[in-house]
A and B are shown apart, each in its own frame.
Chain A
Amino acid sequence: MTFAIQHRASPVCTLDLTPDVSFAARNRMALRDLAETARLWRLCWTLAWLDIRLRYRGSMLGPFWLTLSTTAMVASMGVIYAILFHMGLRDYLPFLALSLVLWGYLSALVTDGCTSYTQVEGMVRSVRMPLSLYAARVVVRNLLVLAHNVVVIVAVYALLQVWPGAQVLFALPGLALWLIDSLAVCLLLGAVCARFRDIPPIIGSIMQMAFFISAVIWKPSQLHAQAWMLAFNPFFAMLEIVRAPLLGELPELATWAAALGFSAALCGASWLLFARVRNRIAFWV
């Protein structure tokens, strides 16, 4: 009487677990984890989308509340800071809108990345899934938020009738780097924060500090001769490689070099840690 759904019979599912602690074996398992996540992209997308939908279920505007709150923030801060910095609104507002939206993504991603695993504790402990799936879900979720906020940038540009020109295409390699780094951040922070529960508040205060020192609401040129200091700020480098092209400028080569250097360090650290502790995370959450 009951109706049975069989797993697809063709590929034989095999699970073979040995505590092989050699470097090569750890890397192989970590790679397999990533490959499996790639195969499960549809699940990843659904989970991320449901996260957004859930957050705004029952509200009238849904995820567009994000757009609205960003608009309010840009409008109010734009007027005040344009006066403070003695800048024209036409010059300052596009910069601010862009900065706030992009920074919003970076900051939310880093804070969200801390709970990549702890947030899905029940899931991690009841079914075997590639762990990087949970990190990828956080990335996709934040990309969806970013997509809702991009509307604000477009609106400001249209309203003030400023168009950055063909230079915007140079933002694409920057965005590609962002994608890779985003996953690396979530894998890294997710694991560290699952093990040490007092890291998230530390990250929170770091991000708050970074907001003020990373030329988000003020322009790098306002530092005048001291602008070289920004070279040591990874957040600035990452922000600038995407922001500058969208403002119609080209980021300096040094900024790109710094962004690549910081990214390489981040990805390296993240990979080593993930390969090392992947099989421990289920015990930590």
Chain B
Amino acid sequence: MDTVPEAVIEASTAARIDAEHVNVDFPLYHGNARSLKRMVFRTVAGRVATDPKHRVVVQALRDISFSLRRGDRLGLIGGNGAGKTTLLRTLAGIYEPQAGRVHVRGSLSALLDPNLGMNLDLTGRENIVLRAMYSRLERPAIRQLEEDVAAFADLGEFLDMPVRVYSSGMVVRLGFALATAIRPQVLLMDEWFLAGDASFMEKARVRLEDMVRGAEILVLSTHLTEVVLSWCTRVIWLDQGRVRADGPAEAVLSEYLGHPVSRQA
């Protein structure tokens, strides 16, 4: 069974990500610009005709190109508003690019929002089932997921109570257990996930590292240098929606931070 040549796996099921000259624009309908009244009045004034694209647009991503193959671990760094989260959302297929091409092969999981899919009015168990369905799991797998999450989050009888009555620690445990229970080939992760890392239980850390290692491709957006250094092999530095630097983790991080860094540090 182990004799399947690597090349065959590579060609058939191996995960990959290709982004080619991706552009994403964000329309801003702030304040009244969004309202019908404004639009009607503008039409009346004849300004829509002269400028049909009369809207404020934020150029969130500009000409982003990169390819990732099995085993690649990419870190995204850059200041606030540099486009890190937008890029993750684009790779997850939530935002579709206005120009360029995004191609992702392999099962994908995006940990973008700490409360993803969690409805505070539903019970823990109902939330688990919903999450499983969002991930298109089949029935037996749903049962498995339920057991796994219940065991990890250790909620006891609270599992059948609305999440609203949980202590904040319990909510975190449930959210974390849910997010890490499904092992994707491509893992997209936003920095919120590591925010509480320092205080995180050892158990959680092991589980998270397990998932990261299990993923064929990791794309991680973070500010935390140590995390980038220990997990990522490659780093893209985003600045105002463009790639400012792209290369090995140490090199790009040193450039970004303005002082040399190394894995041993």
Contact = CB atoms under 8 A, between A and B. Distances in A.
Interface stretch (A3-11, A80-88, A149-157): A3-11
A122 B115 contact: yes
Contacts of A196: 34-36, 39
Contact of B183 (A6, A14, A122): A6
Contact of A18 (B101, B119, B126, B185): B101
Say what secondary structure dominates the interface of chain A: mixed
Contacts of B27: 280, 283-284
Interface residues of A, number: 44
B106 A13 contact: yes
B108 A57 contact: no
Q: Mostly helix, strand, loop or mixed at chain B's interface?
A: mixed
Interface in A247-282: 279-280, 282
Interface stretch (A42-50, A92-100, A207-215, A227-235): A42-50
B116 A127 contact: yes
Contact of B133 (A18, A46, A122, A282): A46
A16 B239 CA distance: 25
B117 A17 contact: no
A189 to B, nearest CB: 13
Given A1-B206, A127-B92, A50 B34 contact: no
Contacts, number: 140
Contacts of A42: 133
15 contacts: A1-B206, A2-B152, A2-B180, A5-B182, A6-B107, A7-B184, A7-B185, A18-B100, A18-B101, A19-B99, A124-B94, A128-B93, A129-B134, A282-B95, A284-B27
Interface in B98-127: 98-108, 110, 112-113, 115-117, 119, 121-122, 126
B80 interface: no
Interface of A: 1-9, 12-19, 40, 42-43, 46-47, 50, 54, 57, 122-129, 195-199, 202, 279-280, 282-284
A13 B108 contact: yes
A57 B163 CA distance: 13
Nearest to B24: A283
A19 B136 CA distance: 26
- Name which of B89, B134, B145, B152 has the most chain A CB atoms within 10 A of its CB: B134
A15 B104 contact: yes
